[in-house]
Structure 1
Amino acid sequence: MGSKPIYTEAQLEAYLKRIRYNGANTQDVSLVQDVRQRIQTDALGTLADLQRHHLAAIPWGNSGLHYSQHHTISLNPDSLYEKMVERGLDGYCMENTGLFLIVLRSLSFLVYATGGRVSHAASKGIDNGQFFSFGHMLLIVIIEGIKYMVDTGFGNNGSTAPLRLQEGVAATCIDPSEMRLVRETIDEFTDKTQKIWIYQLRYNAESKWLPMICFNDVEFLPQDFEVMNFAVSQTRTSWFTKTFVCQKMIMDEDARKIIGQCIMAGQEVKRRMRGQTEILQVLHTEEDRIEALVKYFDVHLRKNEIEGIRGLTSELI
């Protein structure tokens, strides 16, 4: 049985700096040492802090499929680290959450990955009870025998804190939106006695709960995600291959909660705060978009990467 990859102490230190983790204020204690000490006394709180900082620092996006010469996505642990930590670029679900998985494992969390199906309601805005095929990665973190769902790669409506695997307990996602887990069957199952976890979101207390992702807490292996990654990143029916998107969460000044999102989609850069959406910039050309990636997401692309989008349907002309 092959060993599971971990990052070195130096790599973990660089990752914590990348996500702007607020650690020890003394030079005698490294950020990694600070995190390890906090895990001993408050593992769940430390996990929540790491997830929140990750969401606010590392963008969710698919630049590798549009702004590159190869138009592929690698899940190799060193490639993930180089791309999102050293280069400061974005990553989509299996990249972002894949990186977070290895970080948590390297910090000695008991954690594994599982696969999820994204609902039509999440991608199309229509709740028809249906889900796409497996194409999303989530994490299950076990703390004192209790399982929590953790996600750093879902984008706009993703969870912003660890969610205990228990039914119907609502928590604030990004105020006024709420999130919860329920365990139900889905319309497409033949055997209606089969139950599956469903991550749901509602935009405010008066709106309807919408399914976002369904999943079981069964461990998926790296080879499973290789198949999923190929399907999501290479098939002609995948919207990831046709549309460029970039999104990052916004934390409050005290870094204690997520309060909004900055989203680049189509020809607009938008900010969503407290249930209100503001258009920050309209993008007319590729030059506009490249400058906006730097301004709003701190994403700096190389010349050969920028030229990789020429001729694609996602190019702004």
Structure 2
Amino acid sequence: MYTYTAEQLTRYLEHIGYRGDARQLASQDPLGCLTSIQHHHMARVPFESLSLHYSRHRLLSLHPEDLFGKVVDRGRGGYCMEVNTLFAVVLRSLAFTLYSVGGRVNGPGGYKGWDHMVNIVTVDGRRYLVDVGFGSRGPLHPVPLEHGCEFPGLGQARGRLEYRRLEEHADPGQRAWVYSVREGEGRPWRTQYHFVETEFTAADFEVMNLRTMTAPQSFFVQNVMCMCTLLDDQEENPVGLLILHRDYIKRQVGDVSEIMERLESEQQRVDALKRYFGIVLSPEDQASIRGLASGLLTGPSGHA
């Protein structure tokens, strides 16, 4: 299996602002190490779709070396298959035991096809869902694979894992892990995605990636988005989100959200990516969005 060199691993940990000896902590307190690295990763490596809008080729590589160059060398992020592939290689380089699986995101019309990737990490004989690439409703910490497990999100939000049959299953004996979110006490649980325990190979994700980055109906093809988590004053635990979506910047801390800025032009959006996320787009990349429906070339997009 692919791993990063010791020098690459050091550079990655410095990039995400991780303090301490991760190799030593991974052997002494593997769950604590895994949790801390996940928190720092999600605060520094954005969940974003920018390369599908601000590049001439609009193609995304899942090769670990390409991902390292994109994230560590160029300070970018990516969508689920990119950031979860990178994270899997980082964890494997730290001697964690894990494998990657496919999932289906739940949308207005029900579950879509295989379009999501998560990692299943084993720590002290216990398996955990680890997902650094789902967005504002994704799990913020490693989640034990236990039926009925509930866990905290931001503010009053909670997440839940269930191992159960889906309505779509023709075989009544089939089961899948279902991840749901509730925004507060008394609010309904809303299914976000489900995933299976069968290991997916790099070739499987290449097929999934091709459709996700090219299909006109893909959320990522349709939307310019970029988001990361916000950590507390000790820079340890996630307390909020910073989101760029289409034509606005939103900041959420706990249950409180506010629109920080409305974006009315491409230049304003490019400036916002640099100011809020530290992402600098080259003139060539900036120009490549011209002619796309996702561009803000003539004023506000009208989406909120």
Which structure 2 residues correspond to residues 5-24 of structure 1 after superposition, within 5 A?
A: 5-23=2-20
Q: Distance in 2 between matches of 1:76 and 1:195?
A: 31
AA in 2 matched with 1:249: T
**Is the contact between residue 90 and residue 299 of structure 1 (CA under 8 Å) also seen in structure 2?**
no
Confirm or deny: 8 A CA contact 1:201 1:212 kept in the other structure: yes
Question: Aligned match of 2:53 in 62, 66, 70?
Answer: 66
Structure 1 counterpart of 2:29, from 21, 25, 42: 42
2:292 is aligned to: 312
Equivalent positions of 1:122-133 (< 5 A) are 124=108, 130-133=110-113
Deviation for aligned residue 1:166: 0.1
User: 5+ unaligned residues in a row in structure 2: which ranges?
Assistant: 298-304
Which of 251, 261, 267 aligns to 2:231? It is 251
Q: What is the deviation of 1:192?
A: 2.9
Deviations 1:191-220 (A, max 9, x none): 233211011111112211111110111110
Residue 189 (structure 1) shift: 1.4
Give the corresponding residue for 2:301.
Answer: none
Q: Quote the Cα distance in structure 2 between the aligned partners of 1:310 and 1:90.
A: 22
Distance, in Å, in 2 between the alignment partners of 1:295 and 1:236 is 30
Give the distance between the partners of 2:99 and 2:189, measured in 1 at CA: 27
Over residues 151-196 of structure 1, what are the superposed CA-to-partner deviations in whole Å (9 max), with x where a residue is unaligned? 0000111100000100112111112111121111112111233211
Tell me, yes or no, if structure 1 residue 297 matches structure 2 residue 277. yes
1:98 aligns with 2:91: no
User: Residues 40 and 236 of structure 2 are in contact (CA less than 8 Å); yes or no, is this contact kept in structure 1?
Assistant: no
Q: TM-score of the superposition, structure 2-length normalised? A: 0.95
- Structure 1 contact 163–180 (Cα < 8 Å) conserved: no
Cα deviation for residue 80 of structure 1 reads 0.3
- Give the AA of the match of 1:246: C
In structure 2, the partner of 1:31 is none
CA distance in 2, matches of 1:256, 1:174: 14
Greater Cα shift, 203-212 or 54-63:
203-212
Paired residue for 2:202, among 203, 222, 227? 222
Contact 2:75–2:279 (8 Å) recurs in 1: yes
Report the equivalent of 1:27: none
Q: Residue 256 of structure 1: CA displacement? A: 2.8
CA distance in 1, matches of 2:140, 2:32: 13
Shift of 1:90: 2.1
1:268 alignment partner, one of 236, 248, 251: 248
- In structure 1, the gaps of 5 or more residues are 24-33
| RMSD over equivalenced CA pairs, Å | 1.1
Residues in 1 aligned to 2:154 and 2:278: alpha-carbon distance in whole angstroms: 22
Three-state SS of the structure 2 residue aligned to 1:170 is strand
In 2: Cα distance, 1:218 partner to 1:65 partner: 29
CA displacement at 1:239 relative to structure 2: 2.2
Aligned to 2:73: 86
Match of 1:173 among 130, 153, 157: 153
